[in-house]
């Protein structure tokens, strides 16, 4: 019996089902049980996560279940998994990455949002990026799962919101989403990626997860998690990072923002053909140091 630990949201369960289906298709793992774990991030809905301890709140209780051996394999949205893991745990595999782009929902373009319009998001990164191009906007705190946020949009609480294309695709939702180009609107580090976490001493589960690992996705994730580790920031830190494979190698783009969008620093790094994960991670760490040297004081104040 292989026990998979996951949050209970529709999206988290879809990701757990995808993992179980991939295990079954490869005839791996035998009998599989899904264990739903309520996290602190799920319980806190009345304020921004950055005010309650950061995005690690979506992973803490699941990691505790791994450590306590109540589950064998944790399935995470990798953008919710902190760069530094508890001792004894490891990232053993990454599934093929979905569309990493952010999507604008409610209006056909940013230009279509009225002056002083209302946009809903709980992400410090999305808030800062939006304000950097539209400082007139009123940013409204939008917590909750995808369905909750779409319901708030339909109720007229805001004129637009931002969601991850990956989540919309995995849930099969058609909401007239307008994907934002990653060159102009860099996504969250690891957005669209599903990570498989387990105990370092559980060789059987590590081997199972490794057989599901998608090497190209794992390379890009290593670069982005390297950037996160190099920054050493929390959920209060408005930052973005996105790596993509090209014909000649791997490109990493990243940016740091003042929380109000008034200042920004961007950078890129490229590594040539056939890099390994240690090299792409090191590249991410190096880009983080480059940007920290240029970072505006308003960014460093919340680091």
Domains of the chain, residue spans: 1-95+193-213, 102-179, 214-303
Arch. (CATH architecture) of 1-95+193-213: 3-Layer(aba) Sandwich (3.40)
Rounding to the nearest 10 degrees, give the CA dihedral for residues 165, 166, 171, 174: 20
User: In the prediction, which pLDDT does 118 show?
Assistant: 97
Q: For the chain, which residues score pLDDT lower than 50?
A: 52
Q: Give yes or no: 247 in active site.
A: no
CATH superfamily label, 102-179: Periplasmic binding protein-like II (3.40.190.10)
Q: Are 64 and 5 in contact (CB under 8 A)?
A: no
Burial of 167 (0-12, 13-18, 19+ CB in 10 A): buried
| Rounded Cα distance, 178 and 281, in Å | 31
User: In the prediction, which pLDDT does 143 show?
Assistant: 80
User: In the prediction, which pLDDT does 52 show?
Assistant: 47
pTM: 0.92
| Rounded Cα distance, 274 and 297, in Å | 37
User: In the prediction, which pLDDT does 303 show?
Assistant: 59
User: In the prediction, which pLDDT does 247 show?
Assistant: 85
CATH superfamily label, 214-303: Porphobilinogen deaminase, C-terminal domain (3.30.160.40)
| Rounded Cα distance, 138 and 114, in Å | 11
**Same fold? 1-95+193-213, 102-179:** yes
User: In the prediction, which pLDDT does 41 show?
Assistant: 66
Strands ordered across the beta sheet of 160-164:
138-140, 118-120, 160-164, 102-105, 178-179
Read off the pLDDT of residues 233-273 as tens digits, 9 standing for 90 and up.
655 678 999 999 998 899 999 999 988 999 899 999 999 99
Name the active-site residue from 72, 80, 99, 102: 80
Q: Are 114 and 175 in contact (CB under 8 A)?
A: no
């Amino acid at each position: 019996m292989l026990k998979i630990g996951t949050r209970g949201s529709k999206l988290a369960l879809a990701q757990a089902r995808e993992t179980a289906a991939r295990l079954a298709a490869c005839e791996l793992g035998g009998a599989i049980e899904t264990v739903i774990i309520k996290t602190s991030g799920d319980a806190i809905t009345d304020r921004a996560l950055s005010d309650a301890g950061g995005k690690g709140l979506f992973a803490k209780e699941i990691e505790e279940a791994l450590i306590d051996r109540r589950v064998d394999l944790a399935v995470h949205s990798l953008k919710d998994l902190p760069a530094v893991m508890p001792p004894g745990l490891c990232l053993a595999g990454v599934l093929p990455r979905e569309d990493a782009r952010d999507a604008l929902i409610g209006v056909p373009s940013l230009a279509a949002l009225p002056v002083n319009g209302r946009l809903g998001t709980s992400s410090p990164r999305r808030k800062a990026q939006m304000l950097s191009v539209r400082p007139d906007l009123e940013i409204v705190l939008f917590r909750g799962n995808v369905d909750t946020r779409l319901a708030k949009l339909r109720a007229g609480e805001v004129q637009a919101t931002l969601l991850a294309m990956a989540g919309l695709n995995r849930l099969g939702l058609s909401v007239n989403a307008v994907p934002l180009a990653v060159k102009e609107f860099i996504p969250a580090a690891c957005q669209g990626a599903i990570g498989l976490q387990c105990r370092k001493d559980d060789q059987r589960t590590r081997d199972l997860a490794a057989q599901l690992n998608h090497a190209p996705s794992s390379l890009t994730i290593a670069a982005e998690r390297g950037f996160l580790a190099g920054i050493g920031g929390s959920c209060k830190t408005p930052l973005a990072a996105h790596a993509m494979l090209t014909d000649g190698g791997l490109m990493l783009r990243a940016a740091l923002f003042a929380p109000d969008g008034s200042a920004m620093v961007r950078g890129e790094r490229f590594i040539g053909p056939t890099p390994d994960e240690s090299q792409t991670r090191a590249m991410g760490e190096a880009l983080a140091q480059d940007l920290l040297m240029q970072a505006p004081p308003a960014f460093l104040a919340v680091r």
